[in-house]
């Protein structure tokens, strides 16, 4: 196994061990909560215990009397100081934007809504004082689920959003879809609930702000996936601090999965309060606070109609979805159930007519936004679960039904009925490979034999596609994004030939310090130890849009790659000058520039770098130095795809599901580091499997979160999961110079449907055709009992 | 305030602590060893796992005063003479970590496991780690890492030179 590079050897495609690991395995990583600034104080929040209430009065006198308390600040204080509400980053025509204040003013709209903050000398004093703040509320009826919220007479979440409608959104040809459904041989109808999830990155959110009056500069350390986005939105829209006076640093971040994209109230409060109290202020969420305040994910209620002709070909798809967006709109919330969902509803299939109709609702719950996959797992679940229901109804094997409907390999670029144009793809080989790996035919035989003995085995497929490398700025702009989605990459060659790379992507587990260094080492012929990847600091990296939507390799990596080409090209001119050759006669390989045909006439990359900085002897019209910047703005998304297959056993006595095997065949285009890509897949599969079997946030009808801790929200333990079997096909993406696609979300996108399908397949002897997730033992046991009773 | 004497990673500390101070906060705040993490407030995640007199404990469930007179080992104390513990090396080799937040607790729990079961089966490893949550890896490579380390240690390798 390669651990470090041989100079000159290409490291692309090598499972290089990670550069970031030494600090993490020795306890010397630096996460936000590990930092301590001189004079640091601590924030604790006073939070609403009610889902819907009017704030009548806040009495902080007892809290202020506690020694060590510096201040108790409220929403009114913040508003008076000119701090603005937190805006969403994506708009739709007619969208109703509720005022989202970091500290509530006048009313609260979900349990956990922050009402006031205490700043004190220690975390325990701050907590004690927060508990001593007395808030007088008038409690009102609340509504937690979106379908109820849209019914006439439901409690209103915001007075200026009638009927609790945030927006309605449609895509596709309604008339063509209606006509095709009316003329179809078979129409399969299914109601699907994609339950609410909570991301649960293991590091709770944290922030630490420090204001320097001498420079009039604010520094914020924060658990962010996109520090430049934090700076832009907090600076320009919320706090009114210009970029050059505001530095945001996201140091080591312990996982995000989407939940650390958004601009949260607590970091706005901490940043503002540090200036008010004149001391650094730190806040770290408890896990209980994380459950109440980290943006949740999913939460769709969907009716699907999938229409087939006599040959089992899909002729139309109609999807109606109600999306619960919670009490306020966070950064990506409006985009998730629309552009990241509706546009994916063609999947890998040739579906001539599709119409999707989405209604987004406000409810008295924690805001809902992107969680790993963001819209694409929901779309995949709609297609793949419905296809399995259809397969049973049509009497066609699920693998065969998928195969019949795949987009043919010669049909690319393929224009779907829901706006996207897939640039490349070849779906059948991945399907075949996955079927072969799991021995599909053999499993079916084994399943039949097991059934004869009363044992319940099931197998489930999920053939998915995702659009990722979230980027094309002109496209996202035309769709309502309030920012471009390119990425920047600076390659700075030092006089000794060592390399610093500044990237706007952010790594919070993805291993960019390694994979990006592999790109550099492969291009420049150096080792990865000659390369430093700098990320997560607006004071060092010129600009960036951050990491989400599986975009870092395809957009951030491509920016670095292009800067490397610029640097190499300038180096070639310098080398040619030194070698007294024409630049077109000079080649670069293995870390050396040499004259074509006479490899002994050569200059090492380090010599050229030194020459660039000495500037004693470079071409007359050339600037000294060796550094390049690229803002890479790709022309399209990238479209990873694949087929995942789960094989399960269900215990008919207990309803317990055991995942026996999990096979994943994915096409991520070119792969930079297979070890890291497999790792991302494993984690994604675990999260998607968890949605199918265990996880689900539940509110009672008063808007109280019933699953508010790790004790009653079941994230998977090692014992719950099998080993994963992964393989790939390779269809390079044409939209970026590395030919890579995103790999960070595929596991989550594919696995939920695969596992759910496997469980329902296992239960088919009972005539069970569908159960909503999570497929817990209790739910399965009841369904089996119900089916037996009905017989 | 109560005075406690604790040996952490072989070094003696005498400190005054509030009686309600948890061991994890003592380690992180009082003596600055931030490798031990806090991932929850209900004793579920295991990010805070350390060895207390050689046994794996969740340091968020132990009061600092309870550690009075005890020997504590944290992730920072696992290396010997600059050489990684086989488990540290194996976590890197098998890619048993991504964001790294669960990693110190995972490694300390695995040290505990291998100290009383040097040849665990895959099932025993998965069972032994039930008190440690990882949201990044899906556990696949963590299990592999523990297997690799068990083999290294069985072959007599005690520590691996850090690179
Ligand atoms: S911090 Fe989660 S178990 Fe100790
Ligand atoms: S590596 Fe991120 S939680 Fe385990």
**In this structure, are A449 and A562 located in the same domain?**
no
Q: Choose the mutation target among B19, B104, B136 for the interface with A, i.e. most A CBs under 10 Å.
A: B136
For residue A790, the model assigns a pLDDT of 58
Residues of B in contact with A719 (CB under 8 A): 123, 126-127, 129-130
Cβ contact A557:A516 at 8 Å = yes
Instruction: Name the closest ligand to CA A21.
Output: 2
The rounded Cα A323 to chain-centroid distance in angstroms is 18
CB contacts of B19 in chain A (<8 Å) are none
| 3-state SS, residue A775 | coil
The total domain count for chain A is 3
User: Per the structure block, which two tokens stand in for A696?
Assistant: 């689900």
Q: Dump the DSSP string for A400-431.
A: HHHHHHBPPGGG-SEE-TTS-EE----HHHHH
Both A581 and A667 in one domain: the answer is no
State which of A266, A293, A320 marks the end of a domain.
A293
Cα A21 to averaged position of ligand 1 atoms, centre (Å): 22
Q: Determine the 3-state secondary structure of A520 from DSSP.
A: helix
All CATH 3.10.20.30 domain ranges of chain B, comma separated, are: 2-77
Q: Residue of the nearest CA to atom 4 in ligand 2? A: B134
**What CA–CA distance (Å, rounded) separates A648 from A636?**
38
Residue where the block lists tokens 């945030």: A166
> pLDDT (tens digit, 9 = 90+) per residue, B75-99?
999 999 999 999 999 999 999 999 9
> Of A18, A204, A254, which is best to mutate to test ligand 2, by the most ligand atoms within 8 angstroms of its C-beta?
A254
Residue ranges of the alpha helices (H) in chain B?
23-25, 86-93, 103-116, 122-128, 140-154
pLDDT at A633: 87
Out of B18, B42, B100, name the one closest to residue A287 (CB).
B42
Contact state of B37 with A31 under an 8 Å Cβ cutoff: yes
* Chain B residues within 8 A of A510 when measuring between CB atoms: 98
Buried b (16+ CB within 10 A) or exposed e, A373-411: bbbbbbbbbbbbbbbbbbbbbbebebbebbbebbbeeee
A625 and A644 share a domain? no
Residues of chain B with CATH 1.10.150.120: 83-161
Question: Residue A490: its pLDDT value, please?
Answer: 93
Q: Are residues A705 and A674 in the same domain?
A: yes
Question: CA-CA distance, A95 to B43, in Å (whole number)?
Answer: 42
Contact in structure between A662 and A724 (CB atoms under 8 Å): yes
**Could you tell me the residue range of the domain that residue A757 belongs to?**
421-468+639-791
Nearest to B95 among A253, A676, A711 (CB): A676
- Is A339 domain-assigned? no
Contact pairs from chain A to chain B, CB under 8 Å: 186
Three-class SS state of A463: strand
Ligand nearest to the backbone CA of B43 = 1
Could you give the dihedral angle defined by the CA atoms of residues A151, A154, A158 and A162, in that order, rounded to the nearest 10 degrees?
Answer: 40
For A774, the 3-state DSSP assignment is coil
What pLDDT is attached to residue A2? 38
Is A60 among the domain residues? Answer: yes
Cβ-defined contact of A26 to B41 (cutoff 8 Å) = no
Tell me the shortest Cα–Cα distance from A678 to chain B, in angstroms. 9
Cβ atoms of residues A208 and A280 within 8 Å: yes
> Which is nearest to A471 in space by CA: A533, A558, A380, A348?
A558
- What pLDDT was estimated at residue A9? 59
Q: Are residues A614 and A673 in the same domain?
A: no
Same domain, yes or no, for A243 and A276? Answer: yes
A421 Cβ contact list (under 8 Å, min separation 6): A413, A414, A415, A636
**What secondary structure does DSSP assign to A546-571, as a single string?**
-S-TT-IIIIIIHHHHHHHHHHHHHH
Report the pLDDT value the prediction gives residue A550, as an integer from 0 to 100: 77
Cβ–Cβ below 8 Å for B129 and A717: yes
Please tell me the distance between residue A754's alpha carbon and the centre of ligand 2 in angstroms.
Answer: 24
Residues of B in contact with A16 (CB under 8 A): none
Mutation target for B interface from A5, A16, A26: give the one with most B CBs within 10 A.
A26
Residues 6+ apart with CB under 8 A from A453: none
Rounded-to-integer distance, Cα A137 and Cα A106, Å: 10
**Fold (topology level) of B2-77:** Ubiquitin-like (UB roll) (3.10.20)
Which chain B residues are within 8 Å of A723, Cβ to Cβ? Answer: 122, 140, 143
Question: Minimal Cα distance from B22: which residue of A?
Answer: A124
Which of A255, A276, A293 represents a domain boundary (last residue)? A293
Which residues have C-beta within 8 Å of that of residue A279, sequence separation ≥ 6?
A39, A40, A41, A70, A119
- For residue A221, the cross-strand partners are A208, A249
Q: What is the pLDDT of residue A6?
A: 45
**Based on the domain organization, do A569 and A692 belong to the same domain?**
no
- Are the CB atoms for A468 and A640 separated by under 8 Å? yes
Closest CA to A662 of A434, A489, A467, A379: A434
Distance CA A463, CA A406 (A): 10
Chain B nearest-CA residue for A673: B95
| Strand pairing report for A456-465 and A641-650 | antiparallel
Any residues with Cβ below 6 Å from ligand 1, and which?
B 38-40, 43-48, 58, 60
pLDDT of residue B160: 56
Residue A354 domain flag = no
**What is the distance in angstroms between the Cα of B124 and the nearest Cα belonging to chain A?**
9
Give CA A483 to chain center in angstroms.
Answer: 17
pLDDT tens by residue, B57-80: 999 999 999 999 999 999 999 999
Atom of ligand 1 nearest to the CA of B46: 3
Last residue of a domain, one of A293, A309, A329: A293
Are A747 and A682 within 8 A, CB to CB?
yes
Structure tokens at A90: 């994506």
Which ligand is in closest contact with the Cα of B145? 2
- Do A684 and A780 share a domain, yes or no? yes
The verdict on a CB contact (< 8 Å) between B91 and A21 is yes
How many other CB atoms sit within 10 Å of the CB of residue B14?
Answer: 8
Beginning with the edge strand found earlier in the chain, give each strand of the sheet holding A531-534 in spatial order: A531-534, A499-503, A487-493, A627-632
Both A425 and A558 in one domain: the answer is no
Chain B residues in contact with A127 by the CB 8 A cut-off are: none
CATH topology of domain B83-161: DNA polymerase; domain 1 (1.10.150)
- A696 and A578 within one domain: no
Q: Residues of B with CB below 8 A from A24's CB?
A: 97, 100, 103
pLDDT at B55 over 50: yes
**What are the distances in angstroms from CA A541 to CA A500, A521, A551?**
11, 20, 17
Of B54, B74, B88, B73, which is closest to residue B163 (Cα–Cα)?
B88
- CA-CA distance, A239 to A361, in Å (whole number)? 28
The CATH number of residue A722's host domain is 3.30.365.10
Residue A392 lies in a domain: no
Neighbouring CB atoms inside 10 A of A531's CB total 23
Ligand nearest to the CA of B48: 1
Position A174 in a domain: no
Whether A321 is in a domain gets the answer no
CB within 8 A of A29, min separation 6: which ones?
A: A23, A252, B35, B100
Q: Please measure the distance between the N-terminal and C-terminal CA atoms of chain A and give it in whole angstroms.
A: 58
Contact (Cβ atoms closer than 8 angstroms) between residue A226 and residue A535: no
In a 3-state reduction of DSSP, which class is residue A596? coil
**Is residue A315 a part of any domain in this protein?**
no
Structural tokens at position A87: 């805006």
* Residue identifier of the C-alpha nearest atom 3 of ligand 1: B43
Ranges of residues in chain A with a pLDDT under 50 are 1-8, 791
Chain A residue with minimum CA distance to B106: A25
Per-residue tokens: A132: 């001593």
Q: State the Rg of chain B over Cα.
A: 15
CA distance A144 to A164: 11
Tell me how far apart the alpha carbons of residues A742 and A746 are, in angstroms, rounded to a whole number.
Answer: 8
Helix H or strand E segment including A131: helix A123-132
- A442 and A493 assigned to the same domain: no
Token reading at A717:
């333990």
**Residues A645 and A624 occupy one common structural domain:** no
Q: Whose C-alpha lies nearest to ligand 2, atom 2?
A: B99
CB contact under 8 A, B99 and A717: no
Q: What's the gap in Å between the CA of B5 and the closest CA on chain A?
A: 23
The structure tokens listed for A664 are 């994943």
Q: How far apart are CA B119 and CA B129, in angstroms?
A: 15
| Residues facing residue B121 across a β-bridge | none
d(CA A397, CA A403): 10
Q: Whose CA is nearest to atom 1 of ligand 1?
A: B38
The C-alpha angle with vertex A393 and arms to A390 and A394, in degrees rounded to 5, equals: 85
Q: Would you give the DSSP letter of residue A659? A: E
Is A320 inside any structural domain? no
* B99 contacts A203? CB cut-off 8 A: yes
pLDDT score, position A351: 98
Query: Residue A283 Cα, ligand 2 centroid: separation in angstroms?
Result: 22
Q: Measured between beta carbons, which residues in chain B are less than 8 angstroms from residue A26?
A: 35, 75-76, 78-79, 84, 88, 162
């Amino acid at each position: 196994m390669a651990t470090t590079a041989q100079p000159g050897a290409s490291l692309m495609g090598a499972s290089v061990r990670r550069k970031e690991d030494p600090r993490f395995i020795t306890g010397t990583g630096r996460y936000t909560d590990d930092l301590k600034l001189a004079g640091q104080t601590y924030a604790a929040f006073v939070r609403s215990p009610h889902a819907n209430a009017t704030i009548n009065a806040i009495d902080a006198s007892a809290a202020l009397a506690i020694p060590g308390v510096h201040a108790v600040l409220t929403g009114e204080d913040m508003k008076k100081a000119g701090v603005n509400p937190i805006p969403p980053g994506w708009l739709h025509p007619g969208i109703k934007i509720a005022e989202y204040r970091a500290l509530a003013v006048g009313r609260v709209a979900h349990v956990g809504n922050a009402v006031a903050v205490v700043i004190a000398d220690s975390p325990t004093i701050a907590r004690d004082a927060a508990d001593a703040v007395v808030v007088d509320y008038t409690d009102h009826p609340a509504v937690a689920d979106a379908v109820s919220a849209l019914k006439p007479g439901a409690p209103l979440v915001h007075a200026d959003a009638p009927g609790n409608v945030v927006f309605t959104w449609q895509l596709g040809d309604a008339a063509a879809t209606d006509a095709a459904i009316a003329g179809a041989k078979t129409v399969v109808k299914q109601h699907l609930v994609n339950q609410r999830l909570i991301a649960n990155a293991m590091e709770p959110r944290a922030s630490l702000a420090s204001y320097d009056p001498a420079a009039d500069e604010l520094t914020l350390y924060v658990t962010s996936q996109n520090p430049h986005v934090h700076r832009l939105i907090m600076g320009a829209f919320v706090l009114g601090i210009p970029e050059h006076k505001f530095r945001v640093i996201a140091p080591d971040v312990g996982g995000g999965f989407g939940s650390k994209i958004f601009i949260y109230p607590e970091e706005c409060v901490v940043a503002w309060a540090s200036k008010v109290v004149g001391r650094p202020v730190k806040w770290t969420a408890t896990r209980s606070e994380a459950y109440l305040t980290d943006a949740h994910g999913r939460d769709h209620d969907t009716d699907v109609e999938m229409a087939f002709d006599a040959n089992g070909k899909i002729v139309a798809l109609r999807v109606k979805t109600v999306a619960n967006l919670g009490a306020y709109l966070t950064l990506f919330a409006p985009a998730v159930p629309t552009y990241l969902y509706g546009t994916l509803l063609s999947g890998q299939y040739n579906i001539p007519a599709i119409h999707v109709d989405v209604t987004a609702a406000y409810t008295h719950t924690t805001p809902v936004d992107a969680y790993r996959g963001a819209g694409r797992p929901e779309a995949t679940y709609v297609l793949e679960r419905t296809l399995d229901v259809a397969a049973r109804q049509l009497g066609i094997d699920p693998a065969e039904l998928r195969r019949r409907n795949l987009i043919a390999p010669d049909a690319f670029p393929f224009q779907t009925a829901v706006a996207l144009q897939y640039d490349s793809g070849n779906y059948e080989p991945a399907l075949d490979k996955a079927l072969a790996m799991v021995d599909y035919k053999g499993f079916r035989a084994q399943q039949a034999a097991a059934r004869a003995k009363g044992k319940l085995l099931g197998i489930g497929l999920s053939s998915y596609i995702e659009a990722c490398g979230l980027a094309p700025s002109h496209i996202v702009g035309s769709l309502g994004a309030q920012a471009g989605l390119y990425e920047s990459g600076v390659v700075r060659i030092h006089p000794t030939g060592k390399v610093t790379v500044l990237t706007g992507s952010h790594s919070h587990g993805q291993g960019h310090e390694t994979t990006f260094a592999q790109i550099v080492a492969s291009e420049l012929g150096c080792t990865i130890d000659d390369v430093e990847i700098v990320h997560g600091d607006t004071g060092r990296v010129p600009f960036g849009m951050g990491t989400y939507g599986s975009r870092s390799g395809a957009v951030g990596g491509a920016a670095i790659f292009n800067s490397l080409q610029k640097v190499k090209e300038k180096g070639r001119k310098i080398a040619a000058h030194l070698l007294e050759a024409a630049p077109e006669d000079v080649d670069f390989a293995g870390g050396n520039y040499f004259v074509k045909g006479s490899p002994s006439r050569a200059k090492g990359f380090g010599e050229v770098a030194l020459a660039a900085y000495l500037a004693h002897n470079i071409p007359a019209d050339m600037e000294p130095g060796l550094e390049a910047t690229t803002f890479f703005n790709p022309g399209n998304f990238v479209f990873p795809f694949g087929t995942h297959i789960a094989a399960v056993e269900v215990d008919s006595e207990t309803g317990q599901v055991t995942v026996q095997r999990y096979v994943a065949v994915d096409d991520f285009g070119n792969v930079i580091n297979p070890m890291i890509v497999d790792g991302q897949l494993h984690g994604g599969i675990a999260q998607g499997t968890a949605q199918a079997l265990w996880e689900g946030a539940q509110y009672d009808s008063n808007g109280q979160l019933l699953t508010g801790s790790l004790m009653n929200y079941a994230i998977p333990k090692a014992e719950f999961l099998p080993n994963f079997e992964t393989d790939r096909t390779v269809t390079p993406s044409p939209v970026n110079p590395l030919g890579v696609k995103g790999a960070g979300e595929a596991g989550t996108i594919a696995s939920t449907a695969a596992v759910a399908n496997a469980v329902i397949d296992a239960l088919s002897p009972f005539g069970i055709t569908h159960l909503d997730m999570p497929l817990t033992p209790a739910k399965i046991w009841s369904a089996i009992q119900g089916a037996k009773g009905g017989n | 305030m109560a005075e406690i004497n604790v040996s952490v990673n072989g070094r003696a500390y005498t400190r005054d602590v509030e009686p309600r101070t948890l061991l994890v906060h003592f380690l992180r705040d009082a003596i600055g060893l931030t490798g031990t993490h806090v991932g929850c407030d209900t004793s579920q995640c295991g990010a805070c796992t350390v060895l207390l007199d050689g046994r794996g404990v969740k340091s968020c469930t132990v009061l600092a005063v309870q550690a009075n007179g005890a020997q504590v080992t944290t992730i920072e104390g696992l290396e010997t003479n600059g050489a990684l513990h086989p488990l540290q090396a194996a976590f890197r080799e098998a890619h048993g970590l991504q964001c790294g937040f669960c990693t110190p607790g995972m490694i300390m729990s695995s040290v505990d496991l291998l100290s009383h079961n040097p040849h665990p089966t895959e099932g025993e490893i998965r069972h032994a780690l039930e008190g440690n949550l990882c949201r990044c890896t899906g556990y696949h490579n963590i299990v592999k890492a523990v297997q690799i380390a068990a083999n290294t240690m069985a072959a007599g390798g005690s520590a691996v030179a850090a690179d």
